[in-house]
Chain A
Amino acid sequence: MPLNQYLAQQKAKASNSNRPAMIMTHVVCGYPSFEANWKALEVMDSFGVDLVELQFPFSEPSADGPLFVKANQEAIRSGVHVEDCFEFMAKVTAKFSFKVVMMGYYNTVFKTGHRNFLQRLKNAGAHGFILPDLPVEEAAELHSIAKELELAPIILMTPTNSDTRLAELAKSADGFIYTVARKGVTGSGTDMNAEVSGFIERCRAFTDLPLAVGFGVSKAEDVEFIGKHADIAVIGTAALKAWEEQGAEGLTAFFTQLLH
């Protein structure tokens, strides 16, 4: 099932429940270990998350904040390779009901080769990919192969983009749009206020795709706010932090407060 269709179905499900928004979570492959990743995913699955980003670790994660930077580096240091990430992804998509998108940096894709990488992504059961350092101007070939393979290229929209640029970005997008709630890198908290909702409204004017809101989502109020203005709440650093502090128990407690 293509991502668009899946999300439409999940959205209908969510609106019939007391869940304010769909949920996308994030796991850095191999950090702290694949076993730990698996346990974290079991917790996430038990809370019925809709989507999971599996991040392929890269040595230069320049769009990530300190916690994910450390996660990327530790994973590489402990010997995680691209090959391992594909294998893990295949196991995850075979077992769990949430859908998986790959997240990472363009060099990982470039070095593997566009077609080769996307074919392997497809084979591993992924539905799309997020490459924050690949601008749409450079993505034409990759996106055309993605279309052929029914993989959704997830595009980021940001508060600094002009309307002209948002219109351009919308043209390349499929699956859903990742709207970046604020300037900066992943990790620190975002004040979900009128500025953020205004930005989401602006994005909405240019696309009918579901809107995910990420960067700094950590509280139940954030998810409620996103439910009012957009479709998908992206939970990244806050969940990893909960895992780092208290493992599966901490993560369960985190999602319990987040989703009541």
Chain B
Amino acid sequence: MDLFDFKDGREGYYGDYGGTFLPEILYSTIEELKAEFRKAKDDPTFWQEFIELMQSYSGRPTPVTHLSNLSKKLGGAQIYVKREDLNHTGSHKINNVMGQGLLVKRMGKTRVIAETGAGQHGYATATMAARFGFESKIYMGAVDVARQRPNVFWMENMGSEVVAVTDGQQTLKDAINECLRDWVTNMDNTHYVLGTACGPHPFPEMVSWFQSIIGREAREQVIEAAGKLPDRVFACVGGGSNAIGLFQGFMDDKDVQLVGCEAGGFGPGKGNHAARLAYKDATVGVAQGMKTYFLQNDDGNMLETHSVAAGLDYIGVNPVLVHLWEQDRVRFEAVTDSQVTEALKLSMRTEGLIPALESSHGFAQAMLEAEKMSKDEVILINMSGRGDKDIFTIADALDDSHWKEFIKQKADAYSSEA
């Protein structure tokens, strides 16, 4: 099954979803990007160059780890994890970013911009820009800047300018709007490195293609480790890039259940969460360059969203995944903030693994289902990022008193310096 041949429909559409909804001023920029991407995709040496770069720079292939302690404790399915956390910069975001970096070189552009929510994509983009010698500017909602300071620190130290966006809800969607505003002004020398499989065509296809490296590796690795294909595959879904990356490896394996895990936040009810498909609060709309499901009101204005995980705190969802959901190929579930925190604790205590709060959504849903599965069944979870960079947020979520004490001492020390 090739999701991207567009043989039976319009280019850039997945069923009724996707498309390119952008101001006319970007028309020629998008045409140029589409042409360059098409050339790269048809050129086998490009993919080879990409693989070699990811091996030498980011430590790929990332391993698949059997969580034997956790599997035993839950008493059900055997749980395996694809370790995207072991990439350089600590998440799967680097796959897409390095791929787009190679395209930017081909297009001869010298400046990159990116939006970031959790900060992982901005961090990866800052890294790529430093490595390739591009000028870079990262847009980040002011709320996210406040909750993800450590990532901002690294971006700035790698030479990126980080702009705190104070419009709207001051989160990921507002950072995307700000990137579009920059892009309509500076498209001549600037490429917009969109971080997830959302936005206008060709981004969903392009990001999915670079992230497919996850699924290609994982299918072989899990068969090798477990002796069979997984019965169920879990991945968290914010924009949906790590999920589509992993799922593509199993698209033709009809018996493998694919499960997208959304941010249930405080639970169902408009404004309480960022679950577009698992809950019934989202409807189809057109915004941020694409047609897909959005958390919006009857006027088509976007709702507030909430999640403990900044990277999942987003109004829209990957149009490719919506299409697969409508075809019953991907199942969607939502887990709440408190379920996620519990899953994270269990993973740390039993396996010594710290999944990012985003990735912990996949863990939480997988743990719920593993218990009810038999011991010879196999689960694969995408650990899309590592959690130690979330130390401030996780410490808050766990209400850790030792950490609070440390921060107070640090603050006192800084203020006595001043």
Contacts and interface: CB of A to CB of B under 8 A. Distances in A.
Interface of A: 57-63, 65, 69-70, 73, 76, 81-82, 105-108, 110-112, 132-135, 137-138, 155-162, 165, 169, 180, 183-185
B167 interface: yes
Contacts of B157: none
Contact of B27 (A58, A107, A165): A165
A139 to B, nearest CB: 10
B189 to A, nearest CB: 12
Contact of A185 (B181, B285, B286, B300): B181
Q: Which of B20, B176, B289, B301 has the most CB of A within 10 A?
A: B301
A76 B185 contact: no
B133 interface: no
A161 B27 contact: yes
A182 to B, nearest CB: 9
A138 B25 contact: no
B411 to A, nearest CB: 33
A110 B180 CA distance: 21
B5 interface: no
Contact of A138 (B19, B23, B296): B19
A107 B286 contact: yes
A258 B152 CA distance: 45
Nearest to B174: A60
A111 B180 CA distance: 22
Interface of B: 19-29, 167-168, 173, 176-177, 180-181, 184-187, 283, 285-289, 294, 296, 298-302
B24 A132 contact: yes
A177 to B, nearest CB: 11
B299 A183 contact: no
Contacts, number: 108
A62 B177 contact: yes
Contacts of A105: 287
A160 B28 contact: yes
Contacts of B300: 58, 82, 107-108, 110-112
A153 B302 CA distance: 25
Contacts of B27: 135, 158, 160-161, 165
Contacts of A184: 181, 184-185
Contact of B299 (A73, A108, A156): A108
A143 B339 CA distance: 48
A32 B327 CA distance: 46
Given A110-B285, A134-B21, A62 B28 contact: no
A176 B296 CA distance: 32
A162 B28 contact: yes
A218 B99 CA distance: 43
A107 B24 contact: no
A69 B167 contact: yes
Contacts of B19: 138
Contact of B20 (A63, A69, A76, A135): A135
Contacts of B22: 133, 135
B24 to A, nearest CB: 5
Interface residues of chain B: helix, strand, loop or mixed (majority):
mixed
Given A69-B167, A162-B28, A60 B21 contact: no
Given A81-B299, A138-B19, A107 B287 contact: yes
Given A60-B177, A69-B167, A111-B299, A185 B185 contact: yes
Contact of A183 (B25, B298, B301): B25
B201 to A, nearest CB: 11
A63 B288 CA distance: 11
> Most chain-A Cβ atoms within 10 A of its Cβ — which of B173, B184, B296?
B184
Contacts of A133: 21-23, 286, 289
24 contacts: A61-B177, A62-B288, A63-B184, A69-B167, A73-B167, A82-B300, A105-B287, A107-B287, A110-B285, A110-B286, A135-B22, A138-B20, A155-B24, A157-B24, A158-B24, A159-B25, A161-B24, A161-B27, A169-B24, A180-B24, A183-B25, A183-B185, A184-B184, A185-B181
Nearest to B291: A110
Given A59-B302, A60-B177, A73-B167, A156 B24 contact: yes
Contacts of B301: 57-59, 76
A158 B185 CA distance: 12
A111 B296 contact: yes
A58 B26 CA distance: 20
B287 A180 contact: no
Contacts of A156: 23-25
A63 B22 CA distance: 9
B169 to A, nearest CB: 9
Contact of A73 (B20, B24, B168, B286): B168
B167 A135 contact: no
Contact of B168 (A59, A81, A135): A59
Nearest to B300: A111
A63 B286 contact: no
A190 to B, nearest CB: 12
A185 B28 contact: no
B319 to A, nearest CB: 14
B39 to A, nearest CB: 19
A259 B144 CA distance: 46
A135 B286 CA distance: 12
A157 B25 CA distance: 8
A138 B291 CA distance: 11
A184 B25 CA distance: 9
Contact of B21 (A65, A81, A138, A157): A138
Highest count of chain A CB atoms <10 Å: which of B168, B186, B296: B168
Contacts of B168: 59-60, 73
